[in-house]
Structure formats: structure tokens, C-alpha cells
């Protein structure tokens, strides 16, 4: 059978029987449908071509980073008197049940000069009382510079058994507000913003601080976030990492891997990152204070801060490089219910839209260099509008098939090519992971990851398109709610902001 031409009506097409006018209207509609499919295929090819470049850059960057970290160079930082002081900023709201274990876990992090600033953000439960009893808190000088705005501080207390633990008791104001209060009180040259339920690997800070020791123009560094679901956790430590076995957590583990190992690492060599996860990021405190801290009026406060730091660097000529380090790992529990996951993705997309709208002025302006010409357009065209293009493509294909304007072989091949491109990207990312960190372990765990990679584009990806479209719609209507979230393992009430879409 000869191949069916996709760009002409078939001889027995019903429109031809309705006369020349109907046939010409039908021809225009058909042309739009077919052409839109080509545009979308072109978009997919361009997108995946770019992602392939990103993957290549990630591989090159990974090789460089691995070469520099072999053996024990980070141990020199551990015993060093000239290592910069790091303050961990940990906001907590109604965390009475888990806060003690979380703080104990933070206190055991390996770093020579570490301060932990925990902010009780007006909890309604006994978070403060639990902390006072567990760590023998004593009031200290409330002497701190009010450099960035936040809700009033009720008191500042220091532990008498762990002197590097400072607890700030303040009136409720949300996560960004709590982080701003912590920024004012912290004394570290570098500050590490985390979520109270993030599990940080003991050596993560030693690795994360390396970019700040390598270059003087670094303002922020981010590490990898992995899904902890399915791994065994003991006393705030991931003892045996495992690839999640549940469907939703499993496909998210693949998503996170692709987003961090390929996406963010590749950006190191392509003009720098625009996102540092709010669950685990290290910042130069002076730069954050100079930028007036975290923005309250956004649901994407982590990305907003990074975008502001980078824009300021271009405008004022100061340091502004944002680096991603793949090795320091923090673990977080990813949602395992469609409802909660949907809310999370919806919010991430609203945050992304908000930040890109706020910083629209940097687009395609020579003054902003790679931020304006590479990163910003990528985030608009791929991260923000990706779901719109994908939805148009899928709907157009369905309509085309229903009206016989697109033939089945074309549709099937089109879908297979699109599926295959995504799958190649994921498998190559898993290959990078297999050759380097094997964060989820070896052998069987890699096979499980591959399994999730095969399944992820079938159904799950389309669901994320729906959630992200919902986020766009809500943003257009001015919805700025954070949304109540639930978790299985760490008993918090709010889900932490992670990456603005892996």
C-alpha cells in the first residue's frame, strides 16, 4: 500500500461532496490543523534539541565537577578556620511533632562553622515549648539588624546545650516572612534556606559551599532534591535510599532526576540557573540583604529571589552567578495523591508565571546578557508555555483524526516520535546518574528507575499539562493562594515549595 499523503484531502473525503465552498472552508481548516501539527512537531524538535544541548552541557559539567571532587578535598573545608560561616534558615509552623528530630538532624550536619536559625512562625501548637524543653533555650540579646521587613519578633533564644542553635519566635507571616526574619538574625556569611522537613545529607553543606570557595562572583548555589518516598529514614537520616515503588512517587523521582541532573546542571554552562529550590539553597547573605530579602507577595518566592539577584547583578555590576552542584543531596517527600500533587504543580506554575511576568523587562535586552537572551526566553517558551503547546498539539491531533484531516499513520508516528524524544532524554539522564552518583542505589533500583521512565510519558505527563494549564488559568484570574497540603511521613501541614516544575 502506497503511503497516504498527509497534506491533501483524500479523494473520498466527505467535504468534497458538499460543493466547492464547503470544500475550500474545509481545506482551510484542514490546512490549519495540519500546519499546526507541523509547528508543534517543530517545537518539539527544537525543544528536545535544546534539551539535548543542555544534557551534553550537563555531562561536560558533571565530568569537571567529578574530577575536582575525587578523594577527600572537601575534608579540608571541614577542619578549616577560614571556611565561611553558614547559617541554616529553617522556618517552622505548627511542627511540634517533628521539630525536635529535625533540629537534631540539622545539628549533626558536618560543617566547621555552622549556625542554625530556626524561626517559629507564630505556630498555634506547642512548637516553641517543645523546643525550649528539648534544647534548654535561654533568652539572648535581641540585637539584630532590621535590614529586611517581616512581622514583629517576640523573642530570640539560644540553646544552652547546642550554642549554635538560635530560635526566633515571631508573629505569623508565612514562609517568606519567616525567612526574612531569619536573615536579619543570622550571622553567617552564607545562608542556607531549607524547609523544616527537608532531610539534608550530613556532608551536603561541605559540598555545597565549594562554588563559593571556587569563585567570588557566586551569589547562590543549589543542590539536588530527591524523592525520599520508599527509602528508609532513621533519626532524620536517609539510611537506605531506594527508588520509590508507588506510581506517583516513582514517576516524580524520574522527573526530579531529569530536572536536576540534566536541567539545572546544564544551565551552569549556559548562562546560569534561574531556579534554586526553596527546600535547599545556599545564598550569600549580603547579596540577599542588599536585594531586600524574600518577596512576600508571590507563591514562587524562591525563584523570585534568584531572578532578582541575577537582575541586580546585571544592573549594578556586582556578583550574580547562580551555580548548581549535583552532589549535595536533600531528600523530600513528594506527594502521593493526585489531588495534592495537582495543587503543588498548579502552584509551581502560578509561581513561575508570576516571576516571569515580574521580570519581563529582562527579555531580549542586551543589558541582561544570557539571562535576557537564553534563560528568560527558555523559561517562557518551554517551562511556561510548554503545556499550552502540548495541549494544542494533542487537541489538534484528536480533532484532525476525528475529521479525517490528519491520517492515522501520521498521528501514530507523530506521537511515537514525541514520546521517543522525551524517553531518550530521560534514559540518557539515568545513564548519567548510573555513571556518577547512583543516589537511589545500584542494580535493581536503576532498573526500577528505567521502568518509571518508560511509563512517565504515558498519562502522567499529560496530567501535569492539565495541572499546569490550571495554574496558568488561576494566575490569569489573580489567584495567589498557597494551598493546604498533606504529607504521609513527615506530618507537616504545608507542602514545601520545590522546583518550579522539574
Binding site for another protein (CB under 8 A): 3-7, 38, 67-68, 70-73, 75-76, 79-83, 139, 141-145, 213-216, 409-410, 413-414, 416-417, 420-421, 423-424, 427-428, 430-431, 434-435, 442-443, 446-447, 450
Q: C-alpha cell of 329? A: 543531596
State the minimum distance, in angstroms, from the CB of residue 432 to another protein. 10
CA angle 315, 316, 322 (to 5 degrees): 80
Read out DSSP for 151-180?
SPEEEEEEESSSTTEEEEEE----HHHHHH
Output the smallest distance, CB 24 to another protein, in A: 22
Residue 424 Rama label (left phi>0; alpha psi -120 to 50; beta) = alpha
Grid cell, residue 232, equals 528508609
Distance in Å, CB of 146 to another protein, minimum? 9
Q: At what angle do helices 247-257 and 460-476 cross, to 10 degrees?
A: 80
Residues in the chain: 502
Instruction: Kindly state the cell numbers that stand for 250.
Output: 516513582
Contacts of 372 (CB under 8 A, 6+ apart): 362, 363, 364, 365, 366
In eight-state DSSP terms, residue 147 is: -
Q: How far is the CB of 203 from another protein (least distance, A)?
A: 13
Would you say 235 or 442 has its CB closer to another protein?
Answer: 442
Q: Work out how close the CB of 264 gets to another protein at its nearest, in angstroms, rounded to a whole number.
A: 21
Nearer to another protein, 6 or 483 (CB): 6
CB of 51 to another protein, least distance (A): 13
- Do residues 328 and 205 make contact, with C-beta atoms less than 8 angstroms apart? yes
CB of 424 vs another protein, minimal distance in Å: 5
Q: Which is nearer to another protein, 17 or 70 (CB)?
A: 70
For cell 546560569, what's the residue? 272
CB nearer to another protein: pick between 132 and 144: 144
Question: Which one, 416 or 491, has the nearer CB to another protein?
Answer: 416
Q: How far is the CB of 448 from another protein (least distance, A)?
A: 11
Q: Which is nearer to another protein, 153 or 363 (CB)?
A: 153
State which residue, 76 or 245, has the beta carbon closest to another protein: 76
Tell me which DSSP letter residue 269 carries. T
Cell numbers that stand for 382 in this block: 518551554
The three-state secondary structure class of 434 is helix
By C-beta, is 79 or 317 nearer to another protein? 79
Calpha distance 400→124 (Å, rounded): 56
Cell output for 368 = 541582561
Amino acid at each position: 500500500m502506497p503511503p497516504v499523503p498527509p497534506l491533501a484531502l483524500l479523494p473520498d473525503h466527505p467535504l468534497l461532496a458538499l460543493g466547492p465552498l464547503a470544500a475550500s472552508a474545509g481545506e482551510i481548516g484542514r490546512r490549519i490543523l495540519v500546519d499546526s501539527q507541523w509547528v508543534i512537531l517543530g517545537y518539539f524538535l527544537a525543544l528536545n534539541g535544546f534539551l539535548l544541548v543542555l544534557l551534553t552541557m550537563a555531562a561536560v559539567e558533571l565530568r569537571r565537577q567529578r574530577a575536582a571532587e575525587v578523594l577527600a578535598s572537601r575534608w579540608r573545608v571541614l577542619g578549616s578556620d577560614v571556611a565561611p560561616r553558614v547559617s541554616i534558615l529553617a522556618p517552622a509552623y505548627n511542627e511540634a511533632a517533628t521539630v525536635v528530630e529535625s533540629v537534631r538532624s540539622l545539628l549533626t550536619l558536618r560543617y566547621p562553622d555552622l549556625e542554625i536559625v530556626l524561626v517559629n512562625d507564630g505556630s498555634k501548637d506547642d512548637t516553641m515549648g517543645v523546643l525550649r524543653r528539648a534544647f534548654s533555650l535561654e533568652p539572648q540579646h535581641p540585637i539584630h539588624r532590621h535590614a529586611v521587613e517581616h512581622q514583629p519578633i517576640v523573642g530570640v533564644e539560644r540553646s544552652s546545650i547546642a550554642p549554635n542553635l538560635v530560635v526566633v519566635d515571631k508573629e505569623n507571616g508565612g514562609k517568606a516572612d519567616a525567612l526574612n526574619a531569619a536573615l536579619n538574625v543570622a550571622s553567617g556569611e552564607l545562608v542556607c534556606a531549607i524547609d523544616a522537613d527537608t532531610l539534608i545529607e550530613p556532608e551536603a553543606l561541605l559540598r555545597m559551599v565549594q562554588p563559593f570557595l571556587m569563585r567570588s562572583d557566586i551569589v547562590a548555589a543549589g543542590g539536588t532534591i530527591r524523592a525520599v518516598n520508599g527509602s528508609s529514614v532513621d533519626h532524620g537520616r536517609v539510611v537506605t535510599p531506594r527508588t520509590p515503588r508507588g506510581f506517583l512517587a516513582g514517576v516524580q523521582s524520574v522527573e526530579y532526576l531529569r530536572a536536576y541532573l540534566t536541567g539545572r546542571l546544564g544551565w551552569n554552562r549556559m548562562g546560569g540557573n534561574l531556579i534554586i529550590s526553596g527546600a535547599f539553597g545556599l545564598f550569600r547573605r549580603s547579596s540577599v540583604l542588599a536585594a531586600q530579602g524574600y518577596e512576600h507577595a508571590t507563591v514562587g518566592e524562591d525563584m523570585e529571589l534568584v531572578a532578582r539577584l541575577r537582575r541586580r547583578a546585571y544592573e549594578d555590576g556586582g556578583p550574580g552567578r547562580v551555580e548548581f552542584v549535583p552532589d549535595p543531596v536533600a531528600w523530600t517527600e513528594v506527594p502521593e495523591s493526585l489531588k495534592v500533587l495537582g495543587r503543588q504543580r498548579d502552584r509551581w506554575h502560578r509561581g513561575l508565571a508570576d516571576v516571569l511576568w515580574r521580570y519581563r523587562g529582562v527579555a531580549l535586552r542586551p543589558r541582561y546578557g544570557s539571562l535576557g537572551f537564553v534563560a528568560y526566553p527558555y523559561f517562557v517558551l518551554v517551562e511556561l508555555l510548554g503545556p499550552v503547546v502540548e495541549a494544542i498539539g494533542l487537541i489538534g491531533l484528536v480533532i484532525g483524526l476525528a475529521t479525517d484531516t490528519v491520517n492515522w499513520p501520521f498521528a501514530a508516528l507523530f506521537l511515537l516520535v514525541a514520546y521517543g524524544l522525551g524517553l531518550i532524554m530521560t534514559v540518557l539522564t539515568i545513564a548519567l546518574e548510573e555513571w556518577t552518583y547512583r543516589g537511589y542505589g545500584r542494580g535493581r533500583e536503576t532498573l526500577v528507575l528505567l521502568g518509571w521512565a518508560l511509563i512517565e510519558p504515558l498519562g502522567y505527563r499529560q496530567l501535569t499539562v492539565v495541572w499546569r494549564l490550571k495554574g496558568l488559568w488561576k494566575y490569569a484570574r489573580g489567584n495567589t493562594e498557597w494551598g493546604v497540603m498533606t504529607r504521609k511521613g513527615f506530618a507537616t501541614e504545608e507542602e514545601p515549595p520545590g522546583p518550579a516544575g522539574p
